Structure 1
Amino acid sequence: MSRRVVRQSKFRHVFGQAAKADQAYEDIRVSKVTWDSSFCAVNPKFLAIIVEAGGGGAFIVLPLAKTGRVDKNYPLVTGHTAPVLDIDWCPHNDNVIASASDDTTIMVWQIPDYTPMRNITEPIITLEGHSKRVGILSWHPTARNVLLSAGGDNVIIIWNVGTGEVLLSLDDMHPDVIHSVCWNSNGSLLATTCKDKTLRIIDPRKGQVVAERFAAHEGMRPMRAVFTRQGHIFTTGFTRMSQRELGLWDPNNFEEPVALQEMDTSNGVLLPFYDPDSSIVYLCGKGDSSIRYFEITDEPPFVHYLNTFSSKEPQRGMGFMPKRGLDVSKFYKLHERKCEPIIMTVPRKSDLFQDDLYPDTPGPEPALEADEWLSGQDAEPVLISLRDGYVPPKHRELRVTKRNILDVRPPSGPRRSQSASDAPLSQHTLETLLEEIKALRERVQAQEQRITALENMLCELVDGTD
């Protein structure tokens, strides 16, 4: 008599559970734009959701604690002149979020810790460089202020948000619309999927495709790809017969998949959310009412089905909380008019902190500066322990310092001399300008003191006449 051997895994019994009704966020007009992004982004402080907005694009940002019914006049983040297509929180500053829009621009916003009285309309910086709509955003996992954008012009641009500069432009690698872009754990490589059905591994700093696989999934519908902890690529796509399919690939040998599994015949694109701490991938399909989760291991069949969370209502999008913001793994599921937290739990008898379930996880400190990364340096994320819980740092402002602004934007009007407008400023000229600024500042302070003294004299005279 044969006995089926049960695979040993601490995540075998993981289950999903919807939060109680009073912990949801209700009465939110979730965007109806037909774009395959998650429409939702969450971090340890805030929940952001792309919403319907007349006369442009907008998203709403709610403090995590502000559950329940959302006031219809709650301030929005507005500034784009066309619908917002993607939003992404900065991993190194919980108050900074980037938005990408159909209006071809990317805007980076500073969100205050207090609830604003009116709409936030002024971004810290607007990044302009794409010629068509921008539908994909992704912050670099370890370098400060490095943001990637991909647009309908088939171009990937990597920006230094701190200076507003384009660091790299990858404009001849994709002959068609880019469907997804994902950094690996240290930000040295990109995995991209494209309408031409090709999965590419790109070294952005060398501007080279280092590996590619045509028709990783044979269907014409969009494909998605994410890097795993082991350096493999996990993909979702469709078969030639339009069945949904998942795959696992080794970039060093793209000929044959490590694993390939057919799923079902639903037509929603599967958005993969990968947790490197547990090596669990969660698959959320737009229009589905379920979330499936799989564990990726080194043992055959390599992608192991764990469980499915199902609910009655279909989802419009999904946000995945970074581990440092959690007591437990948590999703934020968008419905038509609300956002519902879903808690992923591994059942354990003990309520004590579980080291094996919550290993050290990426924290909010960047490992590199933008210039260091661009020069060729790599570093793994700076990890933090979750043993005593994570407390988000206080509000930190992102300061933008535009470099060489005179070189980028020549002064309008007639040029006085060649050297004044084109040549970089010499050390002597800079020192002269600084001296002038210092003298002007001292003069302003002297005038302010004089004005204060005159005001005091006036007050004394008025009091004397009374």
Structure 2
Amino acid sequence: MSRSIVRQSKFRHVFGQAAKAEQSYDDIRVSKVTWDSSFCAVNPKFLAVIVESSGGGAFLVLPLSKVGRVDKNYPLVIGHSGPVLDIDWCPHNDNILASGSEDTTTMVWQIPDHTPCRPISEPIVVLEGHSKRVGIVKWHPTARNILLTAGSDNLIIIWNVGTGEPLITMDDHPDLIYNVSWNYNGSLFCTTCKDRRLRVCDPRKREVVAERLSPHEGIRPMRAIFTKEGNIFTTGFTRMSQRELGLWDPTNFEEPIALLELDTSNGVLLPFYDPDTSMVYLCGKGDSSIRYFEITEEPPYVHYLSTYSSKEPQRGMGFMPKRGVDVSKCEIARLFKLHERKCEPIIMTVPRKSDLFQDDLYPDTVGPDPALEPEEWLDGRDEDPILISLRDGYVPPKSRELKVSKKNLDLSCPSIAFFFFLLLFCTFSFSTLVSKTNPFFFFLSFFPLPSLSALLFTLPLFSCFLSEIQSLKATVLSQEKRICDLENKLSKYTNGTV
């Protein structure tokens, strides 16, 4: 009797192929900052790439359909006074993106569906809490408007973007934080640190619940991500500087589930995980290849599948969420490889003869709707992501505006500071007037009654002025969109007559 010695898996023949030259994004000046981030973020609507810019930090946001050569005058997203180090799209709103910078701030941006005529320079909200550069930004996978930032001040801050306030601050790390990864439902996150420790943190308890010293014995940077089952996949270096990957059970850090040596290259391996297929794609900075593995419950647990190779090395990599792939072509993943001057899509497919929808390749995947509100998550509630079917494909919804309602006045804003001092001036003038008109009220000027009266008098005027500013801003935005539409129509007519 013969027995099968080949492991059965529908992903044994995943085929990687670069997109055609006309489907790439050319003439992009990719950032050259020395920071181990992916420099690229992508969702079903947009491609964002951190680029070189003089006098501050900037990144480029392109609609996915705008392939080909990028105009050198294409509007950038500017606003940071230092180089941008990390960017991340909101999983619950395809038009919202967060950026961290060397200027110690994190900014959240609303990206319009139409092509802007001028650079985008006004973020929705600026999050200020770090004293050194912000190198990591990560959105919560299930709760609305929850954003995690980590800086070189060794702090982790979790924000409510809807109010612009910090919810949780953790200072458990004594050295530089290399990366942060939420688990599937956002109840925990894991970190790797320069002190060579892998930590599992419970943010709502503000404590480290598990840690492991030197999951990889080398001193070079490590990376760690949670799998859907709750295990932790890590990449690092051995004592002899060989690259290594591992799989760990956070409830028992004594021994790894799997440990595998790869090669002797120097580039840090960036892991991208697909929870629907349990596949991990490893992209090394400076490499010209992408390795992919399948994680299973059978030994050796981490199974090597294949390698996509090319001639040019990669500067960074973006990973498309599953709802952005083309199910009609059996595409299970799409990565966006950054070259020195362009971005090239890499398409991973499982060849099938049938044109029908492949249920086994596309189980229900994470959708764009949040499962929790910020208050619910902060109170201790956990929910898995809300899933959607890809049977009929995914159509991104129209732009939804993120509304920020700050609880406290920001006196760093010049206009708010001006009205604050105007309010104090009115209060003082009212007190002086009352005391001069009637000597009896001279003594009342020392009490909060005149101040309260002046406050009640100026608040309606202040709110009226703010509403006028908001209506004026809405008018300007609508006119800007109208001008862009007219310019696009004019260019079409011009191209048609030439």
Normalising to structure 1: TM-score of the pair? 0.89
Aligned pairs for 1:11-410 within 5 A: 11-171=11-171, 173-327=172-326, 328=331, 329-405=333-409
**C-alpha deviation, 1:406, in angstroms:** 8.3
Give the drift of 1:226: 0.4
Of 343-352 and 93-102, deviating more is 343-352
Identity of aligned residues (%): 74
Question: Residues 120 and 12 (structure 1 numbering): CA distance in 2 closer, same or farther, change over 3 Å?
Answer: same
The CA distance in 1 between the partners of 2:447 and 2:147, in whole Å, is: 35
Tell me the CA shift for residue 437 of structure 1.
7.0
What displacement does 1:439 show? 11
Deviation at 1:264, TM superposition (A): 0.2
Distance 1:440 1:344, change over 3 A: closer
2:442 aligned residue: none
Q: Distance in 2 between the 1:301 and 1:349 partners?
A: 31
- Distance apart, 1:438 and its partner CA: 12
1:395 and 1:433 map into 2 onto residues whose CA distance is: 39
Task: Call closer, same or farther: CA 1:2–1:239 in 2, change over 3 Å.
Answer: farther
Q: Any idea what the Cα deviations from partners look like across 1:4-39, whole Å, max 9, x if unmatched?
A: 600011111111100000000000000011110000
How many aligned residue pairs are there? 436
> Which amino acid is 1:163 matched to?
T
> Which structure 1 residue ranges, 4+ long, deviate > 3 Å from structure 2?
1-4, 404-420, 432-441
Change (3 A) 1:316 1:406: closer
Deviation at 1:404, TM superposition (A): 3.7
In structure 2, the partner of 1:460 is: none
Structure 1 residue 170, shift from structure 2 partner: 0.6
User: Structure 1 435/136 Cα, relative in aligned 2: closer, same or farther at 3 Å?
Assistant: closer
Distance 1:401 1:348, change over 3 A: same
Q: 1:439 to 1:305 in 2, by over 3 A?
A: closer
Change (3 A) 1:438 1:42: closer
Letter of the structure 2 residue corresponding to residue 351 of structure 1: D
Call closer, same or farther: CA 1:157–1:236 in 2, change over 3 Å: same
For 1:337 and 1:435, the matched residues in 2 are separated by: 53
Q: Which secondary structure does the structure 2 equivalent of 1:176 belong to?
A: coil
Per-residue CA deviation, residues 179-219 of structure 1 (Å, 9 max, x unaligned), is 01000011000110000000000000001111100000010
Cα displacement (A) at 1:405: 3.2
Give 2:246's aligned amino acid: G
User: How many Å separate the matches in 2 of 1:22 and 1:108?
Assistant: 32
Q: Relative to structure 1, is the Cα distance of residues 436 and 123 closer, same or farther in structure 2, using a 3 angstrom cutoff? A: closer
| Alpha carbons of structure 1 residues 121 and 223: separation in structure 2 relative to 1, 3 Å | same
| CA–CA separation in structure 2 for the residues paired with 1:439 and 1:160 | 24
Are the structure 2 counterparts of residues 439 and 254 from structure 1 closer, same or farther at C-alpha, using a change threshold of 3 Å? closer
Q: 1:133 Cα shift?
A: 0.4
The aligned residue for residue 441 of structure 2 is none
Cα drift, residue 342 of structure 1: 0.4
Aligned partner letter, 2:339: H
Aligned counterpart, 1:7: 7
Q: Secondary structure at the match of 1:136?
A: strand
CA distance in 2, matches of 1:207, 1:46: 35
Query: 2:41, 2:139 → 1: CA distance?
Result: 12
What amino acid does structure 1 have at the position aligned with 2:203?
P
Shift of the 4–375 alpha-carbon distance from structure 1 to 2, 3 Å rule, reads same
**1:276 offset after TM fit, Å?**
0.1
SS of aligned partner of 2:251? coil
1:44-94 superposed Cα distances (whole Å, 9 cap, x missing partner): 000000000001100000000000000011000011111000000000000
Q: 2 CA distance for matches of 1:151 and 1:11?
A: 38
Letter in 1 for 2:343: C
More helix by share: 2
Give the counterpart letter for 1:57 in structure 2.
G
Question: In the TM superposition, what whole-angstrom CA distance separates every residue of 1:230-289 from its partner, at most 9, and x where no partner exists?
Answer: 110000000000000000000111000000000000000000000000000000000000
Deviation larger for 152-161 or 397-406 = 397-406
What 5-or-longer segments of structure 1 have no aligned partner?
Answer: 445-466
Q: Distance in 1 between matches of 2:206 and 2:43?
A: 31
Q: CA deviation at 1:433?
A: 8.4
- Secondary structure of the 1:312 match is coil
CA distance in 2, matches of 1:137, 1:68: 29
Distance 1:300 1:80, change over 3 A: same
CA distance in 2 between counterparts of 1:438 and 1:154 reads 40
- In the alignment, residue 232 of structure 2 is paired with which amino acid? I
Report SS of the residue matched to 1:283: strand
Aligned CA distance change for structure 1 residues 387 and 262 (closer, same or farther; 3 Å) = same
Structure 2 stretches lacking a partner, 5+ long:
429-445, 469-498
Q: Distance in 2 between matches of 1:320 and 1:406?
A: 36
1:407–1:108 distance in 2 versus 1, CA, 3 Å: closer
Deviations 1:419-440 (A, max 9, x none): 79x9xx9xxx99x789957997
Question: What residue number does 2:435 align with?
Answer: none
Structure 2 CA distance for aligned equivalents of residues 52 and 351 of structure 1: 43
| 1:314 shift after superposition | 0.2
Could you tell me how far apart the structure 1 residues matched to 2:130 and 2:4 are? 56
